[in-house]
Amino acid sequence: MSGAADKGIGAPLPRKEDYRFLTGQGRYLDDVAVPGALHAHFVRSPHAHARIVGIDVAAARKAPGVVAVVTGRELAEWTTPLRMAPPIEGLQPVEMATLPTDKVRFVGDPVACIVARDRYLAEDAAELVEVAYEPLTPVPDVARALAPGAPLVDETLASNLVSHQAFTAGDPARRFAEAAAVVEASFHQHRQTHAPIETRGCCAVWDAGRAHLTLHIGSQVPHPLRTTLARRLRLAESQVTVISPDIGGGFGQKIALYREELTVAALARALKRPVRWREDRGENLLAASHAREDSARTRVAVDRDGRILALELEIVEDFGAYCFYPANYLARVVAMILTGPYRVSDYAFSVKVALTNKCGNGPMRAPMAITSWIMEGTIEAIARRLGLDPVEVRRTNMLRASELPYAMPTGEVLEDVTPRETLEHALAAFDLAGFRARQREDRARGIHRGLGICCVVESTTYGSAFYKAAGIAGSGHEAGWVKIEPSGAVNASVGLMASGQGYETAFAQVVGDVLSVDPGAVRIHLGNTDTAPYGMGSRGARGGTAGGSVLFLAAQALRDKVLAIAAALLGLNSSGELRLAEAKVQRRLGGEWTETGLSLADIAHVAYLDPLRLPQGMEPGLEAHKAYDPPPMTYSNATHLCEAVVDVRTGGVRLARYLVVEDCGTVLNQQIVTGQQHGAIAMGIGGVLLEEVVYDEDGQNRSGSFADYLLATAVEIPPIEVISRHTPNRRTPTGSKGMAEGGVMGAIGAVMSAVNDALAPFGVVAERQPLTPPYIRSLLRGKV
Amino acid sequence: MSESVPIVLRVNGEEHRLLVEPRRLLSDVLREDCGLTGTHVGCEHGVCGACTVLFDGRPARSCLLYAVQAQGHEVTTIEAVAAEGRLSAVQQALHEAHGLQCGFCTPGIVITMEAWLAENPNPSEAEIREALSGNLCRCTGYHNIVAAIAKAAARRAGSAA
Ligand code: FES
Ligand code: FES
């Protein structure tokens, strides 16, 4: 690529967005000043499951500063319910009112909304709302949800089993009959939540004169949000603008249109006054969105060398009370890509999803987080059973470069991945032999070290074809535009929205690289649906590949137009011997690149302001709009190694070392990629060791503050060594693959594997998360 | 609702004459009445550290203080740190080492660590991690923040010498 090579694609440029954040000039939702805005506050259910007998809002309406108090009754007139009924086999259609009128389904379920002059007054008035409940038997877990005669979380369904899919490839039954051994393993991942440091919030402004709604909201997906918002308010999409300011972390929590946000928008319209809402931390932990909580069992048929002949997976997810997403969406992906880097042809899965009286689930950084742990844990179970080295069992089953592209048993095609290379490189970098010697010596002294290994194949960028094949509703395309303005200044936009990923820098590098301008001079505009093109937004690990690619293509189209204009101005028949370098047009003469005297700004001036000099038939202006649908799926891969020390007396776990070797294709900015890797790994580590949403037997949530829901601090997270071994994807325009979630998958698997390695002398295996000291001690009871 | 009372807040060397309800948090008054939105609110219960300001020169959580308690004290917020447009040592190092992603925790970290480095000019990595443990960051995994603080410490030592 030409031009500003040291600042182009791949350069580890410090971020353009940093200055405003470092100096307190970021603009997050609460920093957006809207004169005269009223404040909303929600009254929430204290019960896990209860019939709403009546709501008396009379006293609250009379409280000081209160402008309105509404319940589900008003919202049912102002909005339409959310119907979740994609045509997916085995998935039950469900419908959700904007605010419930019949019953509440979890602690924190919103039942009324107060609008007052300020937030303090709204909270005061909430105390005056009298809700009469008739408690119902709660459904606190999957076992009870699926028991015969269980109370129904959603009374329109025949059972709490909201989704069930099964699949078979090959002939697993036959392979099991032929096997030298059949090994079983089980895995339980607990409930967690995204906990961005900025909670949810929004501010709705209804312009009655124009009949137009503007919703300021930190949203990862401004356009899909606009579509849903307009539909549910019965407005045309042209009557709604969604503007996302800076977002203080999303991690998947800021995708859906939540009931509170829709309520606030409906209230602004009904009251004809701006209304804003900011949830507090307790609400965020209790009632925003939860994630994970799945249990899996594998059965695997192997030959004497540990070669996998067939694999079966059963996975059950506790989805909580409401479906903001198709219930099959998260667990289904786990089953689709479970086999990852391994050679498996005979495979069967069953994926069940149950409703319970908990906050509803949604995708959280690595919706398929448990995948690598299940697969790697299964490999380790094979090694334990057959008395083999777990590294050897991995090598035996791992795909070789010569076997790629490889069709996984689910039909997904794995290509341009390097699992063996990252595994071998990681083992060498870690000094496996040296570690084993240290481990032996230390064991003799009562220090229990373990080495964890996790080989990750991360599904990164979902193309439309994957969604279709997986039976998930959605499109995988992304859209972008690039404009060179009359002065030569460059603006660009894409449908994604950043919440820390540094798009303003990385995408400026992409556009700058193609147009040979300094990325500092390329402005990336995000988050405003009136400016940005309709894209599917930021989710999964699609930013770099879906967003980076579409801007790359748009910039290329624009560069071609620039060079075509230059050729005409220079009196050449073609632009074949022209290029852009440092925002100037150069021409190859006798093998040498020489200046033509034309700059990008000269061309821009002609394109906009002197269009009669353009080649015949060419339209004035310099802008390119593109949409891009990525391949069905791109995959990144990595090997994570983690050294843990388990204190067998206290059950405490300390991480002594963490190393990852990654291949995520062409990277746009290595510094940003490494930062994403760190953050994902930390989220995985914190999830395994500390974080837990705890519900008791009655469905009460016991983790409503940061004193109970523990996020990892700088003390628990070890230094993280990241080694890059990138190889390009041959099917994406820049060679990028995408990344940002695999770190969570790898950390979960690597920490579990390390702790189990440390516990091996005691003959016990940890099969549950979180790895709390009491849990580890319970495994060791009577053995230490 | 309680009666509003007149107070004088000294923030970043400037006097603000305000009428506030005694129950209003310092964090809210700084953000809403003084217009200093660089102080962020992440939990309102003293755990996350996003709301950290200097209170008479020492880091304090503005979500655990009432605005009326700040009368007669000197409050310093993130807006005063790079007042002349030049980033502080910690800010500059965070930028170079990519020690921030979404940026929401960043002002609290800058305030906390600038004050801490002034008293601990020569910290070890473990000490930095310990000092940082009162500030939650959900994005970065802390690795680059720790590296940045070490870099800032080295630079401060260099420029002091
Ligand atoms: S907002 Fe003050 S510590 Fe979290
Ligand atoms: S950078 Fe997002 S919370 Fe720290």
Domain ranges of chain A: 18-26+477-628, 290-467+631-780
A761: three-class secondary structure by DSSP:
helix
DSSP code at position A348? E
pLDDT of B160 higher than 70: no
Exposed, middle or buried by CB within 10 Å (0-12, 13-18, 19+), for A33? exposed
Taking residues A155-167, what's their average pLDDT?
97
Task: Judge whether residue A532 has pLDDT over 90.
Answer: yes
Tell me the Ramachandran region of residue A678: left when phi exceeds 0, alpha when psi lies from -120 to 50, beta otherwise.
alpha
Given an 8 Å threshold on Cβ–Cβ distance, is B104 in contact with A249? yes
Q: How far apart, in Å, are the Cα atoms of A293 and each of A235, A371, A560, A675?
A: 37, 13, 51, 27
- Look up tokens 């603008």; give the residue: A241
Closest partner residue to B136 (CB to CB) among A197, A199, A678 is: A197
For residue A4, pLDDT over 80 is answered with: no
Q: Is A117 on the interface with B (CB under 8 A)?
A: no
Task: Please check the confidence at residue A246 and state whether its pLDDT lies above 70.
Answer: yes
Shortest Cα distance from B105 to chain A (angstroms)?
Answer: 7
Contacts of A59 (CB under 8 A, 6+ apart): A128, A129, A130
| Cα(A129)–Cα(A138) distance, integer angstroms | 24
Question: With contacts defined as CB-CB under 8 Å, which chain B residues touch A22?
Answer: 82, 87, 91, 94-95, 100, 103, 106, 110
To the nearest 10 degrees (0 to 180), the angle between helices B125-132 and B143-160 is: 110
A698: left (phi over 0), alpha (psi -120 to 50) or beta: alpha
Three-state secondary structure readout of A678-694: HHHHHHHHHHHHCCCCC
Q: What's the gap between Cα A596 and its chain centre?
A: 47
Q: What is the mean pLDDT of residues A760-777?
A: 97
- The string of DSSP codes covering A386-400 is HT--HHHHHHHHBPP
The string of pLDDT tens digits covering residues A128-157 is 999 999 999 999 999 999 999 999 999 999
Looking at residue A5, its pLDDT comes to 57
A300-321: pLDDT as tens digits: 999 999 999 999 999 999 999 9
Separation of alpha carbons A316 and A331, rounded Å: 8
Nearest CA owner, ligand 2 atom 2: B102
pLDDT of A187 > 60? The answer is yes
CATH number of this structure's domain A18-26+477-628: 3.30.365.10
Cα separation, A604 vs A614, in Å, equals 11
Give A499's contacts in chain B (Cβ within 8 Å): 102
Q: Are the Cβ atoms of A15 and B95 closer than 8 angstroms?
A: yes
CB-CB neighbours of A176 under 10 Å: 16
pTM (global) more than 0.95? yes
pLDDT at A469 over 90: no
Question: How would you classify the pairing of strands A721-724 and A652-663?
Answer: parallel
Average pLDDT over residues A42-58: 98
Residues with Cβ < 8 Å from A338, sequence gap 6 or more? A311, A313, A347, A349, A371, A374, A375
Q: For residue A64, what are the CA distances in angstroms to A22, A116, A120, A439, B6?
A: 39, 8, 11, 67, 21
In order of their start, the domains of chain B are 5-80 (3.10.20.30), 83-157 (1.10.150.120)
Q: Which residues neighbour A300 within 8 Å (Cβ) at sequence distance 6 or greater?
A: A182, A183, A184, A185, A308, A310, A311, A312, A378, A381, A382
Q: What average pLDDT does chain A have?
A: 96
Residues in chain B: 161
**Band of pLDDT at residue B1, cut at 50, 70 and 90:** low
Averaged over A355-383, what is the pLDDT?
97
Is A18-26+477-628's fold the same as A290-467+631-780's? yes
> So what's the pLDDT on residue A80?
98
Tell me which of A739 and B158 has the higher pLDDT.
Answer: A739
**Cβ count within 10 A of residue B99:** 29
Rounded Cα gap, residues A496 and A480, in angstroms:
9
Please indicate whether, in this complex, the C-beta atoms of B143 and A719 are within 8 angstroms of each other. Answer: yes
- Chain A residues whose beta carbon lies within 8 Å of the beta carbon of residue B145: 714
Answer yes or no: do B136 and A251 touch at CB < 8 A. no
The burial class, CB within 10 Å (0-12 / 13-18 / 19+), for B33 is middle
As to burial, measured by CB atoms within 10 angstroms (0-12 exposed, 13-18 middle, 19+ buried), residue B83 is exposed
CATH of domain A290-467+631-780: 3.30.365.10
ipTM of the complex: 0.98
Confidence (pLDDT) at A474: 79
The rounded Cα B161 to chain-centroid distance in angstroms is 26
Q: Give the pLDDT of residue A1.
A: 41
pLDDT digits 0-9 by tens, A673-727: 999 999 999 999 999 999 999 999 999 999 999 999 999 999 999 999 999 999 9
Ligand nearest to the CA of A21: 2
Give the Å distance between the CA of A421 and the centre of ligand 2.
Answer: 33
A197-234 confidence digits (pLDDT tens): 999 999 999 999 999 999 999 999 999 999 999 999 99
Whether residues B101 and A720 touch (CB distance < 8 A) is answered with: no
For chains A and B, what is the number of CB pairs under 8 angstroms?
Answer: 176
Closest-lying ligand 1 atom to the alpha carbon of residue B52? 2
Summarize pLDDT for B92-117 with one digit per residue, the tens: 999 999 999 999 999 999 999 999 99
Q: What are the tens digits of pLDDT across the range A634-650?
A: 999 999 999 999 999 99
Cα of A711 vs centre of ligand 1, distance in Å, is 14
Task: Give SS3 for A308.
Answer: strand
Nearest Cα neighbor of A240 from A221, A222, A263 is A222
Q: How far apart are the first and last CA of chain A?
A: 61
Say what percent of chain A tops pLDDT 70.
99
Instruction: Indicate which ligand has the atom closest to the C-alpha of B46.
Output: 1
Give residue A473's pLDDT: 72
* Alpha-carbon span A113 to A628, nearest angstrom: 41
Residue of higher predicted confidence among A725 and A5: A725
- Indicate yes or no: CB of B38 within 8 angstroms of CB of A501: no
Phi, psi of A439 (to 5 degrees): -60, -45
From chain A, the residues in CB contact with B76 under 8 A are none
Average pLDDT of the segment spanning A592-611: 97
Distance CA(A691)–CA(A195), nearest Å, equals 10
Tens digit of each residue's pLDDT (9 = 90 or more) over A562-574? 999 999 999 999 9
- In this prediction, residue A3 carries a pLDDT of 43
Q: What span, in angstroms and rounded, lies between the C-alpha atoms of A329 and A348?
A: 18
Cα–Cα distance measured from residue A52 to residue A105, given in angstroms and rounded to the nearest whole number = 10
pLDDT tens track for A324-350: 999 998 999 999 999 999 999 999 999
B-chain CB neighbours of A196 within 8 Å are: 102, 104, 138
> Within 10 A of A6 (CB to CB), how many other CB atoms are there?
8
Q: Is the pLDDT of residue B66 over 50?
A: yes
